[in-house]
Amino acid sequence: MTTAGATPQGTWAPKVVGLVCDWAVATSTIADGDGRLRAHPSVVLIRVPCSGFIRPSWLEDMLKAGADGVFVVGCPYGDCLNREGNYLMRERVDQLRRRLQRRKVDPARLGMLAHGLHDETAFMADVGVFLDRLRELGPAAVPRAAAPARPAASATPGGAAATPQAVPAEDGGA
């Protein structure tokens, strides 16, 4: 049985999420119905209206949630259907890489690609390079679970926990 993080041979495969502009590379022939790349089943693609629509916090959240890598695919530079979405996203990815580096997360776990609608071959080659880079880095560090909240301090003397008491309803003489 193959899991999202393993290949049929049992070797580790990076868990990757790719956000793909609707006007960038066509994925109908290279991905299955669930958005997984047929050649790289550990890569899940999510279509977006434009790469400029993506918020950097989404990419960061995906890494925090356990993705080993995240990439964005926009239109070729200078050929964005929505004018400058790919340029906006490239700047956002550069800023996010700097922020990740300050947080001790390898910025190489984040990628920005630009491909035209019929560039499936070049796109798949770039995804392969991205996966190779992630394999060299190894699995992403799993974020620590938040510590359980400490119980509120007791207001009763001696620190005994107060238990809720039923309060009798006032009967208005009815």
Whether residue 4 is predicted with pLDDT greater than 80 in this model: the reply is no
The candidate with the shortest Cα–Cα distance to 15, out of 41, 54, 53, 51, is 41
The candidate with the shortest Cα–Cα distance to 75, out of 110, 50, 46, 47, is 50
Query: Which residue has tokens 């049929």?
Result: 8
Model pLDDT, residue 77: 83
Whether residue 51 is predicted with pLDDT greater than 70 in this model: the reply is yes
Model pLDDT, residue 153: 54
Whether residue 49 is predicted with pLDDT greater than 80 in this model: the reply is yes
Instruction: Tell me the pTM.
Output: 0.75
Q: Are strands 43-48 and 16-21 parallel, antiparallel or unpaired?
A: parallel
22 or 162: which carries more pLDDT confidence? 22
With beta carbons less than 8 A apart as the criterion, state whether 69 and 113 touch: no
Q: Which residues of 114-133 are buried (b: 16+ CB within 10 A; e: fewer)?
A: bbeeebbeebbebbeebbee
For 31-53, what is the mean pLDDT?
94
Model pLDDT, residue 122: 95
Q: Cα–Cα distance between 128 and 14 in angstroms, integer?
A: 11
For 155-164, what is the mean pLDDT?
49
Model pLDDT, residue 152: 54
Q: What is the residue extent of each domain of the chain?
A: 16-137
Instruction: Give CATH for domain 16-137.
Output: 3.40.50
